[in-house]
A = this chain, B = another copy of it.
Amino acid sequence: MATTRDRQLEDRELVEQWRSIQSSYFRTAGAIDRALEAKFDIGLNEFEILDLVADSEESSCRMKSLGERTPMTQSAVSKVVDRLEKAGLVSRQTCAEDRRSLFLELTEAGRAIHANAAVEHRALLKENLG
């Protein structure tokens, strides 16, 4: 039978586990964010969108499907794409079959940045998670 003491112990362990997830998440996200910001002038979320676009080359009307592969909100995605577009890394293409939708395409510059940033990204993941 579970005593009060058992429950307190279990709680402590849960909280410990949570703190450790939190700190590992923040450490990793922070490291990547700072590095990308410094070297390529884009943040982590910008990179994640670039990365998604890069590896879903030429398929469905994107904005929508992007939202499904990221914890970001639809409006967050929209704004990240705004910035990427302003930075000339991505372009929105209208979609013939459904004119509400938009395709995303990497520009040359976008492809170049992504290629370099991805190396950095993977390296930092390895360093922080591996």
Contacts and interface: CB of A to CB of B under 8 A. Distances in A.
B130 A14 contact: yes
B71 A14 contact: no
A67 to B, nearest CB: 13
A126 interface: yes
Contacts of A28: 18, 21
Interface residues of A, number: 21
Contact of A122 (B11, B23, B51, B71): B11
A16 to B, nearest CB: 10
Contacts of A21: 21, 24-25, 28, 129
Interface of A: 11, 14-15, 17-18, 21-29, 51, 71, 122, 125-126, 129-130
